[in-house]
A and B are shown apart, each in its own frame.
Chain A
Amino acid sequence: MTDVTEAIARAHRQEWARVVATLARRYRDLDIAEEMTAEAFAAAVERWPADGVPANPGAWLTVTADRKAIDRIRREAKRAQKHQEALMLSDAPEPLGVIDDDRLRLVFTCCHPALAMEARIALTLRMVGGLTVPEIAAAFLVQETAMSRRITRAKTKIQAARIPYRVPSREDLPARVTGVLTVLYLIFNEGYLASDPEQNAVRGDLTAEAIRLTRLVRDLMPAHGEVAGLLALMLLTEARRTARVSAGGELVALGDQDRGAWDRALIAEGHALVRARLASGQPPGRYQIQAAINAVHTDVRDVRDTDWSQVIALYDQLAVLDRSPIVRLNRAIAVAELDGPEVALAEVDGLPLEGYHLFHATRAELLRRLGRSDQARTAYGRAIELAGNTAEKAYLIRRRDQLGAP
């Protein structure tokens, strides 16, 4: 990569959201903001190799995008009045929100609860993340035209229904931050659970993109515990990603992973975030607790050293906030390590998770440890039927076949 290409890639990572956000505030129009920002980057690709990289790439891009926006507005007579309005709006001192940053307004607008969840995800990746529509379509295995329509429809609704371009009011803020974190976590999981990251690198890249976006939100809301918790959770999960799938494309269970392959830098950063949250003394939310559970797992070089009683205590804490049976299922897996498979099986049986592959996979593993091979085989069979991910399927099939024929 030449220096200029690298400078453009860096500017794209660092400045895209800022330029879109600035234009969106100035012109109150996400279409103009998005298109003119894209054009400014296209201009950079054209001109920086000849003219050199400007001293302040962000300012250059903003000014270029802004000029293009004004040109376009002048060209479109219909927009003239809008431009006038926009200028008047930006002259008036705006009431400052709880946090004042254009990028944060952009994040909250893209993750607005009046938009469908899939639209929020697509819009966030496009407007804040700077991914192209074809990239987003490929990552979500959706036709490009369908993805493009989804984004256009969301933008139309924002405009027509007057979804505001600002940080929510204090009373709305907690729920809205939770909504933003949900979007970021869904993006992360989409990448993390991608069954074939080798073949579909775009999907795999979603984890890195989700982490980047969460870092941005954390920069904008540094005091928010759950933002830090989600970032820590993502880092500690991402750290294990390469160890999680074998060379043969099969899932590797936590206890069997090559811990030397874990990313120590990500783990150190995740642990530091978890420690800082613990030190804050504030009651943790669900992401912070999940991050703490992952911190316990990543704290030891040997699975046998895992502090299972600590894991169970954290799941108990999580169960108070989240009554989902999935939390109880995960808790039971830790119970198996501390109190044995029999106790754990008693906790798992009866959970209303008939349609969830990990319920059957967990039962299969517990039954296997109890020597009840026939029942284990049936449970593996159910899990294999329900599993959507090829790496998980491969793992479950091998586990089942190890039991031999009935």
Chain B
Amino acid sequence: MTTLPTEAAAPVVPATEPPAPRPQKKPRLVGTTAWYVTALFICAVMVVPLLWMITIGLKSRTAVFDIPPKLLPTEWTWSNFVNGPEAIHFPRLLLNSTIITALSVVGGVMTAMMAGYALARLRFPGRKVWFYLFVGSMLLPGVVGLIPLFQLYKSIGWYDTWLPLIVPAFLGGNPLFIFLARQYFLAIPYSIDEAAKIDGAGHFRIFTQVMLPLTRPAWITMSILAFQASWNDFLNPLVYLYSSEKWPLSVGMASFISAFAGQTPDWSYYMATNLLYMLPPLIVFFAAQRYFIQGLGALGSTNQK
């Protein structure tokens, strides 16, 4: 807590420095040094916890509780990366998470693109009304639906199945995606669909063969956001899933460290598995970094005008 305010104060100085034009050597050098020192500090805050997690994952289960704590393991217990996932039932949780996430990404992106296409490029009565209703529903906090939907799912036999986690995505579950899709469709020249129409293409063909290739950045961005949302979701599976063999990773991992009956969780097993849990989002992030930045940038710039 004590270190953070200095981090906030320090960057302000070099941040506004470029406007000072005088080419004096000394202040520039000081500014550059200050920048790199701050940069090093920021990187350390972000990375050290993760490195520490890996060292815990390599320690034996008793070495974790050595006092005073050692930063590096004395003996490297690589077997944690095999035994840990096994103790947590990682393979099954991973499979569950993969199925749930894949289906909700496909559903969420597909229905949002369809709705965005209609709202941006087709003329029909009620277009504006539906747009404002969808956008307005972004303001509705998710918790309002929790209790009524829980009862609804229970009454139609969906409790303790994956359906409550997947079906809403196929019904335009994320209004933000509809908004982003519409925004992107509006930017495409209308002469393109007119040309396609003259060539005799119907709406379905225009949508799948003309529009989807043109809007690739939009749906890749949405897929990433949807992937993150589903992979990270904790409250919904916690409420809707009862049997542990149906849990996704988020609930399964969290339950491993909530101590049952005074038993201390095995932290070295846990941290080794935690690393595996982090890997899929990490891979997606580094493979598609530009879309992460673009997607949120689009949110920023569309709201600015």
Chain A bound to chain B: no
